[in-house]
Amino acid sequence: ETGVTQSPTHLIKTRGQQVTLRCSSQSGHNTVSWYQQALGQGPQFIFQYYREEENGRGNFPPRFSGLQFPNYSSELNVNALELDDSALYLCASSLGRGSRTDTQYFGPGTRLTVL
Amino acid sequence: AQSVTQLDSQVPVFEEAPVELRCNYSSSVSVYLFWYVQYPNQGLQLLLKYLSGSTLVKGINGFEAEFNKSQTSFHLRKPSVHISDTAEYFCAVSDGAGNTGKLIFGQGTTLQVKP
């Protein structure tokens, strides 16, 4: 069974640029959630996708957007990068749509640095 | 909105000593609680979860946690720690609002195991 994978591992961008981060779900999982973890903080929920549709969103501006594909892999896009966007971006997959009891399985994350 | 407070930012302990990492959550009608561990430069790994039933939950790597509804706590314990347990530990609650089951994390506790 393949776990959650993310690419790239590290990324350096400059302010104002755009970035795309990718995530492959664990086999059989149809829900993907994205979290932002700033240095020294706990992860914060960005949004969730279920079967290619957005299923909920946290307190992040519209320049954070996402996609989920038919194979349930996912992308996180961030436009007009700001210095505060520097963080570890975590993807998590789960089996049920928004089920509170489902376990979310996390990938290793993408470390984004904005200069 | 639900919230989680981890009462200690850092917990230093000697190898083979017992440890307790403290977590308090905001009260709710139903609550689902999780503990995750994050090793350096890695994603989050589930240690254990409380959904219902027995208030004492056993997890991986010898960890256990006790759900205490009256004190709104979910403290993590291990009777004897190893150097390899050095990591960041996050307590999280599954949020019922918005039907995403999003996780709300505490700030994290750094467990430093000394030889």
- Tens of pLDDT, residues A66-86: 999 998 899 999 999 999 999
Q: Would you say B114 and B12 are in contact if contact means Cβ atoms under 8 Å apart?
A: yes
Write the pLDDT tens digit of every residue in B1-39. Answer: 789 999 999 999 999 999 999 999 986 777 899 999 999
Distance from CA of A97 to the nearest CA of B (A): 7
Q: How confident is the model at residue B108 (pLDDT cuts 50, 70, 90)?
A: very high
Residue from the list B44, B46, B96 with its beta carbon closest to the beta carbon of A100? B96
Interface contact A35, partner B, CB < 8 A: yes
Residue B72 has a pLDDT of 93
Answer yes or no: is pLDDT of A112 > 90. Answer: yes
Mean pLDDT across chain B:
92
Interface touch A97/B32, C-beta < 8 Å: no
- Measured in residues, chain A has a length of 115
Write the pLDDT tens digit of every residue in B67-100. Answer: 999 999 999 999 999 999 999 999 999 887 667 7
Interface touch B101/A35, C-beta < 8 Å: no
Q: Would you say B38 and B29 are in contact if contact means Cβ atoms under 8 Å apart?
A: no
Task: Report how many Cβ contacts below 8 Å link chain A to chain B.
Answer: 73
Write the pLDDT tens digit of every residue in B35-62. Answer: 999 998 888 999 999 998 889 999 999 9
Interface touch A101/B106, C-beta < 8 Å: no
Answer yes or no: is pLDDT of B65 > 90. Answer: yes
Contacts of A96 in chain B (CB under 8 A): 101
Answer yes or no: is pLDDT of A1 > 70. Answer: no
Residue A97 has a pLDDT of 77
Share of chain B above pLDDT 70, in %: 97
Answer yes or no: is pLDDT of A95 > 90. Answer: no
Q: Return the HEC string of chain B.
A: CCCEEECCCEEEEECCCCEEECEEECCCCCCCEEEEEECCCCCEEEEEEECCCCCEEECHHHCEEEEECCCCEEEEEECCCCHHHCEEEEEEEECCHHHCCCEEECCCEEEEEEC
Q: Would you say A99 and A46 are in contact if contact means Cβ atoms under 8 Å apart?
A: no
Q: Give the count of alpha carbons within 13 A of B46, CB side only.
A: 18
Residue B93 has a pLDDT of 92
Write the pLDDT tens digit of every residue in A36-64. Answer: 999 989 999 999 999 999 988 999 999 99
Residue from the list B42, B100, B107 with its beta carbon closest to the beta carbon of A41? B107
Q: Which of residues 5-44 of B touch A (CB under 8 A)?
A: 30, 32, 34, 36, 42-44
Contacts of A101 in chain B (CB under 8 A): 32, 51, 94, 101
